[in-house]
Amino acid sequence: MRFQDYRVLFQVVSLVGVLLAVSPALSTSVSFPTGGERFSELWLLGPNHMADDYPFNVRFGDLYSVFLGVGNHMGCSVYYVVCLKFRNQTQPLPNSTSSMPSSLPQLYEFRAFVSDGETWEKLVTFSIPEVLCYENSSFVNSLVINGRSAWVNSCAIWDSEYKGFYYQLFFELWLYDVSSQGFKFHNRFVGIWLNMTA
């Protein structure tokens, strides 16, 4: 072997040695691509912190509760907003196909910074102060969420198939989008049906 060949071999071995020596320091400052899908979770649990026993047959003036949760698997910390909305059976839900939120007004919002791989959870209490029924219609004027009153002004028509007046309390997940510098609907929502026949 010539001297030039030894020189190139020495440079390659030195470079590899330097890279091995600094690799622990590089791993803390350089993010390498991770495998797997990036997604967020949104869930509701009943008052016993289980996926059952959700409020359904609702009486005005009584207090009800659910647990709202968000899980972050996006590969970085995310700033989330969860919007609470209220509808009757004919009003619009979010459209999953076009990734559009419901056009109904937001009644309450929850904000949380969630690190990657972490979860956030909040107890949500609600009550309906008054339900007015007249012939085949029921009217809900307001909803109290975590002690704060919100105007809903919603009417449901008697459902002859299921024999009742039905409304839905639902939650939309939004996240902060750095490129647009605003919150963007994250195409996830959950809800519970409420029977206000009683």
- The fraction of the chain above a pLDDT of 70, given in percent, is 82
Please tell me the predicted confidence (pLDDT) of residue 37.
85
Please tell me the predicted confidence (pLDDT) of residue 4.
62
Q: What is the DSSP letter of 17?
A: H
- Residue by residue, DSSP assigns 43-84 as EEE-TTSSSS----B--TT--EEEEEEEEEESSS-EEEEEEE
Name the residue type at position 168: Q
Identify the CATH homologous superfamily for domain 39-195. Answer: Immunoglobulins (2.60.40.10)
Say if residue 33's pLDDT is above 60: no
Consecutive H or E run containing 163: none
Q: Tokens representing 76?
A: 């970085």
pLDDT tens string 2-28: 656 666 666 766 766 656 666 665 454
Please tell me the predicted confidence (pLDDT) of residue 147.
97
Domain boundaries, given as residue ranges, for the chain: 1-30, 39-195
Say if residue 128's pLDDT is above 70: yes
Paired strand residues for 193: 168
Say if residue 104's pLDDT is above 80: yes
Contact 143, 61 (CB under 8 A): no
Query: How many C-beta atoms lie closer than 10 Å to residue 127's C-beta?
Result: 18
Contact 74, 38 (CB under 8 A): yes
pLDDT tens string 139-175: 999 999 999 999 999 999 999 999 999 999 999 999 9
CA 98, 152, 113, 44 dihedral sign is negative
Distance in angstroms (rounded) separating the CA atoms of residues 84 and 61: 20
Please tell me the predicted confidence (pLDDT) of residue 17.
64
b (16+ CB within 10 A) / e for 36-63:
eeeebebbbbbeeeeeeebbeebeeeee
Mean pLDDT for the chain?
89
Please tell me the predicted confidence (pLDDT) of residue 29.
47
Please tell me the predicted confidence (pLDDT) of residue 185.
96
Residues 6+ apart with CB under 8 A from 86: 104, 107, 140, 143, 150, 152, 154, 167, 168, 169, 170
Burial class (CB within 10 angstroms; exposed 0-12, middle 13-18, buried 19+) of 31: exposed
> Could you report how far apart the first and last alpha carbons of the chain are, in Å?
95
pLDDT tens string 49-75: 999 999 999 999 999 999 999 999 999
Query: What average pLDDT does this structure show over 97-124?
Result: 96
